[in-house]
Amino acid sequence: MKISEILDVRAILPDIESDKSKEEILKILVNLVCQVYKGINGKDEIVKTLIEREKLKSTGIEDGLAIPHGKFPKLQNMIAAFGRSEKGVDFNSMDGKPTHFLVLILAPERASSIHLKSLARISRMFKDKEFRNKLLVTSDPEQIYKIFLDQELKNNNLSRII
């Protein structure tokens, strides 16, 4: 599954303030998801589940990326939101560096395989330094979405060559 299939341009938040806590950021992203994707209920339950997941192990990976995620029985389809912080936020990343990019993934409970593949695909996308740099200097949601589309196309072309 491609991120462009689960991310709506309206679910892109290009200006998360650097003084926000992890919990505040999760609430902001979940609120955004609930506004954009109609029919998403249980906002508090979603936030609580994501916070509990973060307590087990931070979803802050490296290269300025965090992928908070969870599976929820009431969801019919996988959905995503993207947040960007130019200065970076403290998301307890494994590399100890600030997090600039947050990709929130919410999946149906039954979507284990697709959920894991999506996490891996997103992680691979963000290994590309040029891709990260483009996202870091772009504050327009439409442009950010286009950068994602371009990166997906680039990755698809590379996988056909290899």
- Rounded Cα–Cα distance for residues 146 and 149 (Å): 5
Active site residues: 69
Give pLDDT, residue 162: 32
Give pLDDT, residue 122: 92
Give pLDDT, residue 158: 46
Please report, rounded to a whole number, the percentage of residues in the chain having pLDDT higher than 70.
Answer: 96
Give pLDDT, residue 86: 93
Superfamily, domain 3-161: Mannitol-specific EII; Chain A (3.40.930.10)
What pairing do the DSSP bridges indicate for beta strands 79-89 and 7-13? parallel
pLDDT tens-place string over residues 62-119: 999 999 999 888 888 899 999 999 999 999 999 999 999 999 999 998 877 787 888 8
Give pLDDT, residue 157: 56
pLDDT tens-place string over residues 108-140: 988 777 878 888 889 999 999 999 999 999 999
Give pLDDT, residue 46: 94
Give pLDDT, residue 161: 37
Spatial contact of 123 and 155, defined as CB atoms under 8 Å apart:
no
Give pLDDT, residue 140: 97
Tokens of 53: 């997941």
